[in-house]
Amino acid sequence: MSGLSVQSLCFTYGAKQALDGVSFDVAPGEFCALLGPNGAGKSTLMSLLTRLFTTQQGRIRGAGHDLARTPRKALAQIGVVFQQTTLDLDLSVYRNLSYFAALHGISGREAHDRIMAALERLDMADRAHERARDLNGGHRRRTEIARCLIHRPSVLLLDEPTVGLDAAARRAITDHVHDLTSTEGLTVLWATHLSDEVRDSDRLIVLHQGRILADGNCGALRGPTPLPDYFLTLTGASA
């Protein structure tokens, strides 16, 4: 299938088991929130999905391509926003995106058109020539999301993309990314430890201590229980 497919993924750091038999599929156009407390294994999973780490056990397919067997094809279909910002703060928004476009072999008019379309998509076109250092945290994040659209991936991976942002910026970014699933059909895996970023209509996967504790429609899973309470009860944490 296209979208994202993870089968029986296990990963250890020495004796520490960070992921223990993780399996799930995200359908094309689906927004899937991967909700887990600190240490759940979210970043480890993201590192495997982006091939920063090599899979020890299990299988990953991105847009139908096996990440271990055909990594270039799989990675060409994947856009990533890492937890830590990876913008060059001394370059303008536009230059950050054009550098990324060049890395993907996209140049000239084609690069310009894609950059402006991506910036417009994130309501960032009027800031194209501002220096990244001069942007607030929310606008830096939007720039990174625009950048990961340049090579036209079908799957977006976002690892706690709202860390350190205020409530309004977090809302703007979650709205933008939800919009990308409904209007562009992008498949999204959104890792977070913040339950208020998850909507009832989202697919929800709860990860804890390297294992999936729940997987399904968020509203159906939580029922009448507020999501923070459902999440805390499931993970055995105290408020």
Residues that bind ligand ATP (CB under 6 A): 13, 16, 18, 36, 38-44, 193
16 vs 104, beta carbon nearer ligand ATP: 16
Say which residue the tokens 């720039």 belong to. Answer: 143
Burial 189-215 (b: 16+ CB within 10 A, else e): bbbbbebebbeeebbbbbbbbbebbbb
Say which residue the tokens 């294992």 belong to. Answer: 211
Say if residues 166 and 194 touch (Cβ distance below 8 Å). no
Shortest CB 56 distance to ligand ATP, Å = 13
Length of the chain counted residue by residue: 239
Containing 219, the helix (H) or strand (E) segment is helix 218-222
Shortest CB 193 distance to ligand ATP, Å = 5
Shortest CB 41 distance to ligand ATP, Å = 4
**Measured distance CA(236)–CA(206) in Å, rounded:** 12
171 vs 211, beta carbon nearer ligand ATP: 211
59 vs 193, beta carbon nearer ligand ATP: 193
Torsional class of 10: left (φ above 0), alpha (ψ -120 to 50), beta (otherwise): beta
117 vs 237, beta carbon nearer ligand ATP: 237
Give SS3 for 204: strand
Residue type, 96: N
16 vs 133, beta carbon nearer ligand ATP: 16
DSSP-H helix ranges across the chain: 42-49, 71-76, 93-103, 108-121, 137-147, 167-184, 218-222, 227-235
Shortest CB 16 distance to ligand ATP, Å = 4
131 vs 211, beta carbon nearer ligand ATP: 211
Shortest CB 40 distance to ligand ATP, Å = 4
Shortest CB 70 distance to ligand ATP, Å = 25
